[in-house]
Chains A and B, each alone.
Chain A
Amino acid sequence: MKENHNIDELLNSFIDGELGPREQTEVQRLVANDTAIADRLRQLQKCRLIISALPFDEVPVEITHDIKATLERKTLLSATHSDFEQRRGQLHLFMRKFAAAAAMFLLVAILGAVVYMIVSPGDAGHKKVAIEKWRRPVDKIVEQKSEVEKAADNTSTVSPQMLLEKPVAKTDDFTGRVELKVRDVAAADAFIHRAFEDNGLTPQSLPVGTNHKTYSINCSEQTLKALLGQLKGIWHRFDSTRLLIDEDTVVNDVTAEQIYNIAEQGSLLEQITAAKNFAAINTMNQKLPGKEVITAMGDKQDELTNIPKPVLASKEKAKEAAADENAKRIHLTIIITPNK
C-alpha cells in the first residue's frame, strides 16, 4: 500500500513536471516496462486533465468597484479614528507638558525660597517692620463735645452759668513715628534710654527684632521738649532721621527741633502742614550745597538748645498733674535701626 502511494507520488510528480531529468527517465522506463503502472499513470493524467479542463469563470464586473468602495469607506473610518486618536494624543501630551512645567515652577519656587533663606541677611525677618504700612493710631482728636454742647443736645435750654463755664477747646494730640538709623545701635539705645529716665519716662520697648530698638512713649508737650533737647546732643550721630505722621506725610532728615515744632502745632492739619513745610525745606537742603536754607531759618532752629529741665515743687507738681489731664498728649514711636 505504501509502495503504491510512493509510486503514485512519483507518477503525479512526473505528470506535474516536478521530477529531475534522471527521475523522469526512470519513470518513463518504468511505465514502458509495467502495464499496471502505465494504466495508473493514464488514470492520474485523466484526473488532472478533467480538473484543469474546467472552464475559467470570469469575475463579476462590479467587483473592482466594490473593492475600491470598501477600501475608501475603511480609509475614511480609519482616518476619522486616527484623527480622534491624534487629538487625544495631543491633549495628553499638552497635559503632560503642563504638569511638567507646573512641577518645574514649583521646584524653582521652593529652591528660590530655600536659597533666599540661606543667603538673606540675618535681620531679614525684621525688615517686615520697616515695610509695614504704618497707620496712624485712632485719633483721639475727635471733636469732643463740651458739657454745654451735650446739654444743648439734651435740652433746648442753656443756663447762663453753663455758658460762662465753657472751657477752651482741647488741642489735637500729636501722634507720630521717628525712624532713626545709626551705626552703633547699642550706644544710641543706651543714650536714649538714659534720656527717657532723666525725663521720668518709662518707655515701652516693643519686641520687633534683635537689631531694632523701638520705643513707644506717651508724654506731655513739655516732656517731649525736654527729651528732644537731650537727644539733640547725639542727633548728628544718626545717619538717617525720618518722621512719619501718617502714610502720606513723611519728613526726611528731620531734626529734633522740627519734631518739636510739628508736635506743638494745635491741630492735626497744622501738624501736617508744618511737616510738609519741613519736608520741603529738608529736601531743598539736601539738593543745595552749603545748607543755605537751614541757615536762612534763623535762630528758630535752636529752639531746643536752652531747654531747662523742669524742676517742680511738690505743690506745683500737683497743679501740673491736674493740668496735664486736659493738656495735649504726645504719642511718639521711636525706632532705631542699624545702618549697614
Chain B
Amino acid sequence: MDERGLINKDDKPETTKVNIDDTVLVEQCRRGNSLAMERLILKYQNRIYNIILKMCANADDAAELTQDTFVKIIESIDSFQGKSSFYTWAFRIAVNLTLNYCTRNAKFGTQSFDSSDDESIAQGKERLREILADANLPDPGTVAENRELCEIITRVLMMLDDEQRAVVLLRDVEGMNYAQIAEVLNVELGTVKSRISRARGRLKEIMETILQ
C-alpha cells in the first residue's frame, strides 16, 4: 500500500498484456476455435462473476447472469469491432445485464439493517465502528477475514444506487481506471469522477447512519 492507500493486487488486470492476448483469442474464437472460446471464458469468468455477485448480492442469480454474459459475448463476438478493448467490452455486457436485472428486482434498495439486527450484524457493526474511529488506515487482510464486517459492507453497498454501486465496484474491486470505467458504462470521464466521488461520500454517510 502506497501513500495514497492504493493496494497492489496481483489479480488486478494488466491492461496491455490482457489486450494482446485477448486480440488473438478473439480472432481464434471468431474462426470457431472452441479452445480459444474456453480460454476466454476461463480468463474472465471469475472477475465477471465477482463483480456481478457484489452488484446483485445473490450467488445463484450471479451465476446465471455470468452464464448469460458469456453466452452473449460468444454470440456477438463477430460484432466486436475492436474500437475498445475486449476486456471493457465484456464487462460492459456483464454490467448492463446486471443493471437490467437490478432494475427488474429493485428489492435491494429497501433492504434494512433493523430486520436482521442479530448478533453477527452487531459484531460487524462494532468492527466497522472501530475501523472508522481509528486514525490509521485498516489492514485489508484483517477486513477480508472478518465475515461479519464483510456482511455489513455488502449490505451498505446494496444501499447505494445501482449506477453508483457499479462504478465503485469497477474501481475498487475490479481495479479499473476511470477511462476503462467510462468505456464500460459508456459515459464521460467527468461523469465517472463525479459518480465515484458521490458514491464514496454516500458510502460514508450510510456507514455513519447504521452505526448510530
Contact = CB atoms under 8 A, between A and B. Distances in A.
B31 interface: no
A17 B42 CA distance: 29
Contacts of B203: 47, 51
B207 to A, nearest CB: 8
Interface stretch (A56-64, A127-135, A165-173, A320-328): A56-64
Nearest to A16: B171
A18 B193 contact: yes
- SS class, residues of chain B in contact with chain A: helix
A1 to B, nearest CB: 11
Interface stretch (A68-76, A85-93, A208-216, A238-246): A68-76
Chain A at the B interface: SS class: helix
For chain B, which range describes its interface: under 10, 10 to 19, 20 to 34, or 35 or more residues?
A: 35 or more
A12 B63 contact: no
Contacts of A12: 193, 196-197, 200
A202 interface: no
- Which of A43, A44, A52 counts the most B-chain CB atoms under 10 A from its CB? A52
Interface residues of A, number: 37
B66 to A, nearest CB: 6
Given A50-B131, A53-B144, A64 B38 contact: yes
A13 B197 CA distance: 8
A44 B4 CA distance: 10
A54 interface: yes
Contacts of A45: 4-5, 137
B211 interface: no
B123 interface: no
29 contacts: A8-B201, A9-B193, A9-B196, A12-B200, A13-B178, A15-B4, A15-B5, A16-B171, A16-B196, A17-B177, A18-B177, A44-B200, A44-B204, A46-B132, A46-B137, A46-B138, A49-B5, A49-B143, A50-B128, A51-B173, A52-B140, A53-B138, A56-B46, A57-B53, A57-B59, A63-B66, A63-B67, A68-B38, A71-B71
Pairs of residues from A and B, 4 with the lowest C-beta to C-beta distance, nearest first: A53-B143, A53-B140, A45-B5, A59-B49
